[in-house]
Structure 1
Amino acid sequence: MTAVVPLCAVQFVDVLGTTLVIAALPTMLADLGAPASAATPVVTVYAVLFGALLVLAARLGDRFGHARVLSVGLAGFGAASLAAAVAPSVGVLVAARGALGAAAALSVPTALRLLTAATEEGPARRRALAAWSATGAAAGASGLVLGGVLTDLAGWRLLFWVNLPLAVLLAVAVRRTAPPTPRERGGPLDLAGAAVLVAAVAAVVGGASLLEDGAHRVAGAGLLLAGLAAATALPAVERRARDPLLPRAAVGHPGLRRGVLASAANTATTSSAVTVATLHLQGSEGLGATATGLALLPFSVCVVGGAALAARVMRSVSARATAAVGLAVIAAGTAALLGAGLGPWVVSAGVAVSGLGIGLSSVAATSLGTAVPSELQGTAAGVLNTAAQLGTALGVAVVLLVVRVSEGTALPLAGAGLGWLAAALLAALAAGLLLRRPARAAVGARSAG
């Protein structure tokens, strides 16, 4: 279990990078003399490259060794952080943020594969997956708070300087504690499949981010369509590959499919609900960034509690049922926000319930998705993390679009209420889909879901 702590820390640092800069954007852009329009690439380039490269990074780990690829990712993360910390212009900052996203993509799926290799199937692995899920969800939620605090403390460049010692410490810890994993011996890498998958995910994540900006909504829709077209072409490309990027045994595995559904639904619903809550608290309630962060802090606390609870629940209940229950709790917490005139305490309580739900469901989703043969666990880790990134991008984009289009209309629950309703319905739908057992499913397939 000694490897679990540094591996979970890798997850925390890399996921934190997605949201850490948001609170610092005004200061950052003013210091670099950049226009407000530069905020979009500064934020989204990290998520685009992070999400797009996850599966390819996982397969590189299968081929060259997960500990080695993770070490390269941590070294790249440190180097890119240095470039961002001394960036003289917004162009250099955007490039450095892109490199940070690519380095994070190398690190996260390989760290997850090493975590499963470091623990035996059973209670030890459930506890490790609970810690992994809790750190990831807590990192995403706490980025706004930490970004604001560090920027107020010593300026926005501190956000990147702190990564340097962290990258070094984690690299040393991983080198000392990471277990060996078998290396895949196959044909040449499926470069065609990798190119199509990277293009598809990058276009979807980038397009979804642009949908949130009214001035670029048409371009965002075009990118989304291009990404969907590339995704549609991917199966044909993979069928022709000698050693496909996405092995057929992994794509067809029922546990991985359910894990992907739960992972995408978890992030799509909670990320969008918390984003709408942030806008509501700062807009309608007039809270500042720090007060908003404190109001949303119970979400992060409950994520950790839900993850710890999941490890116990799954001793007697299947991972699939646990994921469905978690999504139902997310739906309930989000639905509780639909009343009129919500004050900060009500919003805080509602997102806290949702945090408990994602804590439950994220552990179960990871358990479902990694319950594959050992030779497929690297791929599974990449696919699960890609699903989570796509869920965040699409969920936030669609729900914010619903909020902004409905504002000022006569629709019931217009604005934030309609956004929360959309997130709650999505969580409930995903829970129902998880509980739906295919007619051909084996009756005794409890361990797979």
Structure 2
Amino acid sequence: MKKAVTAVSADDRTAPMHVHRSPHVAVITLCAVQFVDVLGTTIVISAAPAMLADLGASASAVSLVVPVYAVFFGALLMLGARLGDRFGHRRVLQSGLLLFAAASLAAAAAPGLAVLVTGRCALGAAAALSVPTALRLLSAVTEEEDARRGALAAWSASGAAAGASGLLLGGVLTDAVGWRSLFWINLPLAAALLVAVRRHVPTTAPRRAGPLDVPGGLLLAVAVAALVLGASMLERPDRALAGGAVLMVAVLCAGWFTSVERRAADPLVPAAAIGDRALTTGAAASLANTAATSSAVTVATVWLQDAQGRSPTVAGLTLLPFSVLVVLGASRAKAVMRRHTPRTTAGVGLAVVAVGNGLLLGAPTWPWLVPVAVGVSGLGLGLSSVAATTEGTAVPEPLQGTAAGMLNTAAQLGTAVGVAAVLLLVTATEDTDVPLAGPPLGWVASTAIALTAAWWLLRRGKAWGRD
């Protein structure tokens, strides 16, 4: 494992002499950044009805308030990673946290729907600046391979747990304090993270390069945003045609982006990144992880509330084992990877996810199976997500920033596309006589995603021992 290269930048030279660099505190801080930013993807789902009612907005506006965060988050991740390469990852991370605080303030005090949606857009952009730069800095503060794998385990666990915990925390805070508390609470969090980053996280040397690839960045942002938005529109049959048109825009922009990248002096996604087998395998595994688990848990959430009549808070508590077991699976990943390759470990983790998703098929008959099933899925996700991140970040130093952006973008796309495709299957078959129609068909699809990805990863690695 190559040691991460760090350098002292201007902001370090002017820092107070009493500043201490603690690798352990740095890892905790960077994982906290990941947790807070990923939490924003799901925390408003349970609170959305209360938000819209309080602001006098139509209930249909939920299709705008909820997905805009993921649209901006996913669309700007690669640009955030390259800005870190250009200007220094710690500086960009601090800028992201400042934007996070400002956007939270706007959303918390929103007098109407327009300001709330604008605040959610800015929060997604702030997450896109913060998450890839935090992952890059995580590699910089953990130079030894064993320490780095432990840090990646904590990183993966915090992200996976945040996505699932948002469903519970959103409902609990809204019921207890009100929906605006979801944003007010971000202000002290942002302040604490800014202080911790300043005191304990070192900077990386900005990479000298050619002109920033602005055309490529814009095209990729539009392509990813259109893909996320189009996928979310497909979740509702009445918007399927418009969603298909938006997806066509995504395809056209992706093709145009490829053409622009070939001519760019310093492309947003270097050719070396596309040709790096470890990075592309890690990105594919990251996409499969979120596609398989987010879709299954989302269908379970909807089923618990619609078919079982449980409140958002009770439904969130039912799914809590997912978050708990993610942490356990991630904590065991480092030990498993001492015996097996990350690629094989990711495949095994996804096979465990498939088992958990498959157990959900028994939920209509035995509802008590839901917490057991999602717990098994969470265990597999913890194992696989650590392995996927380890595999994807095993790249040369110049590609570290790009790797962070690609891995996070893949995870966001997996969530968006996986949830949209599976929910489309569920809604299209709920009132039909198709065998295993409705939620069971969704869980079959989630299981198939996990099994296919597990088979592919295990074929690319050796089932036993090291490559």
- Quick check: TM above 0.5? yes
- Between the aligned partners of 2:295 and 2:182, the Cα distance in structure 1 is 24
1:334 equivalenced with 2:357 (yes/no)? yes
Letter paired with 2:240? R
Structure 1 residue 410: deviation in Å?
1.7
* Range that drifts further, 130-139 or 37-46: 37-46
- Between the aligned partners of 1:274 and 1:35, the Cα distance in structure 2 is 26
Structure 1 residue 433: deviation in Å?
1.4
* Range that drifts further, 363-372 or 223-232: 223-232
Structure 1 residue 237: deviation in Å?
1.3
Structure 1 residue 327: deviation in Å?
0.6
1:435 equivalenced with 2:435 (yes/no)? no
Alignment-derived partner of residue 146 in structure 1: 169
Q: CA RMSD in A?
A: 1.6
Question: Where do 1:150-189 residues align within 5 Å?
Answer: 150-189=173-212
Structure 1 residue 244: deviation in Å?
0.5
Letter paired with 1:260? A
Selected match of 1:37 from 35, 45, 60: 60
Alignment-derived partner of residue 316 in structure 1: 339
1:9 equivalenced with 2:28 (yes/no)? no
Alignment-derived partner of residue 264 in structure 2: 241
* Range that drifts further, 219-228 or 43-52: 219-228
Does structure 1 retain, via aligned residues, the 8 Å contact 2:236–2:424? no
1:282 equivalenced with 2:302 (yes/no)? no
* Range that drifts further, 145-154 or 229-238: 229-238
Alignment-derived partner of residue 304 in structure 1: 327
- Between the aligned partners of 1:237 and 1:207, the Cα distance in structure 2 is 23
Residue-by-residue CA offset, 1:164-196 (whole Å, 9 max, x unaligned): 010011011001111221211011001111111
- Between the aligned partners of 2:307 and 2:48, the Cα distance in structure 1 is 21
Does structure 1 retain, via aligned residues, the 8 Å contact 2:237–2:424? no
| Shift in CA distance, 340/157, structure 1 to aligned 2, threshold 3 Å | closer
Selected match of 1:119 from 117, 124, 142: 142
- Between the aligned partners of 1:94 and 1:36, the Cα distance in structure 2 is 14
- Between the aligned partners of 2:465 and 2:207, the Cα distance in structure 1 is 26
- Between the aligned partners of 1:209 and 1:447, the Cα distance in structure 2 is 41
Selected match of 2:247 from 205, 224, 244: 224
Letter paired with 2:364? G
1:76 equivalenced with 2:99 (yes/no)? yes
Alignment-derived partner of residue 52 in structure 1: 75
Structure 1 residue 231: deviation in Å?
1.5
Point out where structure 1 has 5 or more consecutive residues left out of the alignment. Answer: 439-443
Give the ranges of 4+ consecutive aligned residues of structure 1 lying more than 3 Å apart after TM superposition: 446-449
- Between the aligned partners of 1:342 and 1:118, the Cα distance in structure 2 is 49
TM-score (norm 2): 0.93
Letter paired with 2:112? S
* Range that drifts further, 18-27 or 63-72: 18-27
| Shift in CA distance, 312/368, structure 1 to aligned 2, threshold 3 Å | same
- Between the aligned partners of 2:33 and 2:25, the Cα distance in structure 1 is 14
1:190 equivalenced with 2:213 (yes/no)? yes
- Between the aligned partners of 2:246 and 2:459, the Cα distance in structure 1 is 33
Point out where structure 2 has 5 or more consecutive residues left out of the alignment. Answer: 1-23
Does structure 2 retain, via aligned residues, the 8 Å contact 1:371–1:448? no
Alignment-derived partner of residue 202 in structure 1: 225
Letter paired with 1:354? S
Does structure 1 retain, via aligned residues, the 8 Å contact 2:161–2:323? yes
Letter paired with 2:277? P
- Between the aligned partners of 1:420 and 1:359, the Cα distance in structure 2 is 19
- Between the aligned partners of 1:335 and 1:233, the Cα distance in structure 2 is 40
Percent sequence identity over aligned pairs: 64
1:418 equivalenced with 2:445 (yes/no)? no
- Between the aligned partners of 2:251 and 2:352, the Cα distance in structure 1 is 31
Residue-by-residue CA offset, 1:233-257 (whole Å, 9 max, x unaligned): 3222111111100011111100011
Letter paired with 1:226? V
Alignment-derived partner of residue 407 in structure 1: 430
Selected match of 1:343 from 366, 375, 396: 366
- Between the aligned partners of 2:333 and 2:248, the Cα distance in structure 1 is 37
Does structure 2 retain, via aligned residues, the 8 Å contact 1:137–1:300? yes
Structure 1 residue 319: deviation in Å?
0.2
1:134 equivalenced with 2:157 (yes/no)? yes
Letter paired with 1:153? A
1:378 equivalenced with 2:420 (yes/no)? no
Structure 1 residue 447: deviation in Å?
12
- Between the aligned partners of 2:411 and 2:99, the Cα distance in structure 1 is 23
Structure 1 residue 134: deviation in Å?
0.3
Structure 1 residue 214: deviation in Å?
2.7
